[in-house]
Every structure is written in C-alpha cells, then in structure tokens.
C-alpha cells in the first residue's frame, strides 16, 4: 500500500520564492551581463550534440547491467567536470513488482554547493527500453533539423541537457544557488524499482524540481502526470479430461471469465480512474480442463487515494466466485504515483512561459492535467512541497520506437537557456 506523508511548513516558503517574479528580471540582469547567457549557450550547442552522440552510442537498456554501469561512469565523469561532488550509488532497496529484475542499475548523484540558499533538484534517466544489439539498426545520425538514435529523446537528451546546464553555470562562474542536486537513475523504464525511494527522499527538502523528460513535439511543460498501477489476477482450479469427465475438474478459465466480468466496470471518468484488463492466459491443451488462469489489468489514477480505493474494491469483489472450489487471488501494485499540479508549479511554469516569449518569441504550452503517462517527477513530488516541472527536455518524437526516435535540433538552445535561466532567476531572487 502506498502511503503519502506531507512535509509541513514549506508551502509559504516556496510560494515566496517563486512569487518574486516582479523582481526576477532585475535580479537576472544584475547576476549575468546582458546577452552573455545566450552567447554562452549558443557556443555550447555543438558540444551538446557531441555529448548526445556519446550517450546514444552506449546501449543502456534497463536490464542491461553492463550497459547502464557503462553509461553511469561516463555521466558521473562529465558531472564531476562541472565541479560537483559525484557518487555512483547502488540500488539495494528494491520495490518488487511483477517484472522487476533481481538487480537494478545504479543512480548517479551529483551535488553542487553554492553561496546562496535555493535548493534545486534536476532529474533525468539514463536507461532505455531497447534490447542490446538494436543500436546498429538506429545509430546516432543528424539529418537536417533532427538528430536520431535509440533513446535519444527518452531520455538521453535530458541527461545531456543537465550536464550542459551545469557546464554553462560553471563557464559563467555563477554560484548564487544554495545547492543543485542531480539524480540520474537507470531503471526508469521499468518503473524505477531501485531508485524511487532515493528520488522521493532527496526531493523532500527541495524548493524546485526540474525533470528533463522530452517536451513532446510542441515542447509542452507538464505539471501533472497520471499514476500507474497494475492488477494481477491468479486463478487456481483442478485439471480433468475435458471430454471424458470434465465434472471432476475445476475450470480456472471459467472462473477467470467470471472474475473479469465482475471486475471490468471499475473505471470512473469523474475522477480519472481507468482500469482495463489487457492480458489473459489459461490452458495449454484443448482436451484438458485448465487448472490455472491469469490476467493483468492496467490501472491509471490522478489521486493516490484512488489507487487505495480500487485495491480495496478488487479484494472485496473476488470473494464472490462462480466455482466454489476455485482459488482466486489478486495482487495490486503501484508502479508510479500521480503527480498533481500545484499552485507553486503553475507560477513557475508561467515564469518559464514568459522567458520563452520574451527571449525567443516562442510559445510554451503548459499542461496542468494528466494525459495518461507517468514519470519519475511523481516520485519527486510525492512527499515534497517543491514546484515540480516535467518536460524540461528537448522537443522530439518517436520514443520507444526502433526506427524513428529523434530530437529537434532547434530546441537545444532554447531548452538549455530555459533551464539555466530558471536556476539563475530563482537563486538570485533568494539571495
């Protein structure tokens, strides 16, 4: 069961930090000479592309321990160059789900300590959904205004963006922040079983959390994401000859069918809860009454309480059976909690929107309602009152495809500028 613990007393502090929007333009001008930030980031663009190429050329599927350890060492070395204190942390405290491997990859943690008081957290993930050996069919390449490669959008562009945001701060010799804490995990694509606890705990005392998943085709910032859960239905029956004496058996498939029928209408459009049975299996031989059957359901929710409620309902309903001699069990797991849009996140997103318009004459869409997907930003926001922005990464498309994943090259400079500028503005305003 997922429990939510709220940190008290920080809301006013965070709103105060972000609410100084009227002073931010002046603070920014005092902190960094006019146009220097843009010029520095423009010069960083080609180096960013080289970093991205290096990252893409390391195959790092979530369950490829050799690959994720390789990329973690590269990322740690690059973060260390920015002056951060860096460590590669093993993931020993693992939340076990149905598909969780025995061992998960490491987390790279980096901390920059400045002379101010702001606490800013940056997150991205190093792993991909792809299997080892697939890189040869989609190597890194640049064609026109797009760069292609396995995992380039999800989420190696985000890893590179954080590296070069810190590099930019170093080149500007900007140290007015209090701390900048970076977490890069290597199990995000399998629901972060080994890193979720560290992400949640590290985020608790932060002021702002920027998550560098891709911004989609239009570069939207997301303030809310769906929670993702799963239900696993397991039926035990008794086998018998289907043609000679079926009455001696207990048909697990019959019981499974009955259970799915009574568990299929639990979705609630009013609250955003969605429960859909998607996978089922039973029997191997036509003339044998099946003695086992299984089914899986995908569950989405916008509030933690909805997960708790649907788990309770599932456990109550399976007590009613079609076949009294069957055994019916259900397991429910929370793969990701929901991220709920907060007032402080909305204020920070509006600041980002203003920066995009004033500096690049570009629109920046803000999505305050969840659309079905879930990310590590939800773990970061679970017990924290920080302003959480998701989608700080570059624009692109084709995530999780093996022939079309790309980023849009013209979003490199605006996105690096936005991340760096937000850090500077927030830190300078809190001096």
Shared-domain flag, residues 83 and 185: yes
Note the pLDDT of residue 16: 52
Name the active-site residue from 188, 189, 213, 425: 188
Give 3-state DSSP helix, strand, coil % of the chain, rounded to 5.
40, 25, 40
As to burial, measured by CB atoms within 10 angstroms (0-12 exposed, 13-18 middle, 19+ buried), residue 22 is exposed
Note the pLDDT of residue 237: 98
Note the pLDDT of residue 34: 63
| CA proximity to 314, closest of 270, 255, 262 | 262
Element housing 293 (H / E):
strand 292-301
CATH at 171: 3.40.630.10
Residue 191 CB partners (closer than 8 Å, separation 6+): 97, 100, 228, 335, 336
| CA proximity to 53, closest of 149, 130, 131, 120 | 149
Note the pLDDT of residue 373: 77
pLDDT tens profile 273-310: 999 999 999 999 999 999 999 999 999 999 989 999 99
Note the pLDDT of residue 28: 55
Name the active-site residue from 44, 59, 64, 127: 127
DSSP letter for each residue of 118-140: -EEEEEEE--BSPPTT-GGGS--
Range of the domain at 86: 11-225+339-429
pLDDT tens profile 112-144: 999 999 999 999 999 999 999 999 988 999 999
Note the pLDDT of residue 374: 86
In this structure, is residue 1 part of a structural domain?
no
- Torsion sign over Cα 5, 201, 9, 272: negative
CB–CB of 11/416 below 8 Å?
A: no
Shared-domain flag, residues 354 and 414: yes
pLDDT (tens, 9 = 90+) of the chain, 431 residues, equals 443 333 444 444 544 554 544 444 445 545 687 689 999 999 999 999 999 999 999 999 999 999 999 999 999 999 999 999 999 999 999 999 999 999 999 999 999 999 999 999 999 999 999 999 999 988 999 999 999 999 999 999 999 999 999 999 999 999 999 999 999 999 999 999 999 999 999 999 999 999 999 999 999 999 999 999 999 999 999 999 999 999 999 999 999 999 999 999 999 999 999 999 999 999 999 999 999 999 999 999 999 899 999 999 999 999 999 999 999 999 999 999 999 999 999 999 999 999 999 999 999 999 999 976 789 999 999 999 999 999 999 999 999 886 789 999 999 999 999 999 999 999 987 76
Shared-domain flag, residues 306 and 397: no
In this structure, is residue 3 part of a structural domain?
no
Shared-domain flag, residues 175 and 63: yes
In this structure, is residue 6 part of a structural domain?
no
Shared-domain flag, residues 79 and 191: yes
CATH at 303: 3.30.70.360
Dmax (CA) of the chain = 88
Residue 52 CB partners (closer than 8 Å, separation 6+): 140, 147, 149, 152, 156, 157, 160, 407
Shared-domain flag, residues 332 and 343: no
Residue 44 is a catalytic residue: no
Helices (runs of H) and strands (runs of E) counted in the chain: 11, 16
Residue 273 CB partners (closer than 8 Å, separation 6+): 266, 267, 299, 300, 301, 302, 306, 310
Shared-domain flag, residues 43 and 99: yes
Shared-domain flag, residues 379 and 325: no
The structural domain count of the chain equals 2
Q: Which of 274, 305, 336 is the last residue of a domain?
A: 336
Shared-domain flag, residues 112 and 205: yes
Secondary structure letter of residue 371 according to DSSP: -
In this structure, is residue 382 part of a structural domain?
yes
Shared-domain flag, residues 291 and 393: no
Residue 188 is a catalytic residue: yes
Cut 0.85: pTM above it: yes
């Amino acid at each position: 069961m997922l429990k939510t613990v709220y940190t008290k007393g920080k809301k006013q502090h965070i709103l105060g930090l972000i609410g100084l929007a009227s002073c931010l333009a002046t603070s920014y001008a005092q902190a960094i000479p006019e146009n220097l930030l843009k010029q520095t980031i423009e010069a960083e663009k080609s180096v960013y592309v080289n970093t991205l190429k290096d990252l893409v050329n390391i195959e790092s599927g979530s369950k490829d321990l050799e690959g994720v350890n390789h990329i973690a060492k590269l990322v740690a070395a690059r973060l260390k160059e920015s002056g951060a204190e860096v460590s590669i942390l093993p993931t020993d405290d693992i939340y076990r789900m149905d598909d969780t491997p025995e061992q998960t990859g490491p987390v790279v943690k980096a901390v920059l300590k400045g002379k101010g008081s702001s606490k800013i957290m940056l997150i991205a993930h190093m792993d991909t959904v792809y299997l080892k050996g697939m890189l040869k069919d989609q190597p890194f390449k640049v064609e026109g205004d797009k760069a292609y490669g396995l995992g380039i959008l999800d989420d190696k562009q985000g890893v590179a963006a954080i590296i070069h945001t810190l590099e930019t701060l170093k080149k500007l010799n900007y140290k007015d922040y209090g701390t900048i804490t970076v977490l890069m995990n290597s199990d995000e694509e399998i629901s972060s079983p080994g890193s979720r606890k560290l992400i949640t705990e590290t985020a608790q005392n932060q002021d702002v959390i920027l998550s560098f998943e891709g911004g989609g085709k239009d570069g939207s910032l997301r303030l809310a994401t769906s929670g993702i859960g799963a239900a696993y239905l397991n039926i035990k029956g008794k086998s018998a000859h289907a043609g000679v004496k079926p009455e001696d058996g207990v048909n697990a498939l019959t019981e499974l069918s009955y259970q799915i029928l009574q568990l299929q209408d639990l979705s609630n459009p009013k609250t955003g809860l969605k429960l859909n049975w998607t996978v089922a299996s039973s029997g191997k031989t036509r003339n044998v009454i099946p003695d086992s059957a299984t089914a899986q359901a995908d569950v989405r929710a916008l509030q933690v309480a909805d997960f708790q409620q649907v788990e309770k309902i599932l456990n109550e309903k399976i007590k009613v059976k079609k076949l009294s001699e069957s055994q019916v069990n259900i397991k429910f797991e929370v793969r990701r909690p929901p991220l709920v849009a907060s007032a402080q996140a909305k204020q920070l997103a509006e600041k980002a929107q203003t920066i995009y318009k004033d500096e690049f004459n570009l629109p920046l869409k803000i999505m305050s309602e969840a659309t079905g997907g879930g990310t590590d930003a939800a773990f970061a926001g679970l017990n924290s009152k920080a302003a959480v922005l998701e989608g700080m990464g570059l624009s692109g498309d084709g995530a999780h495809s093996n022939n079309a994943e790309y980023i849009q090259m013209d979003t490199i400079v605006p996105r690096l500028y936005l991340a760096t500028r937000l850090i500077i503005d927030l830190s300078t305003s809190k001096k």
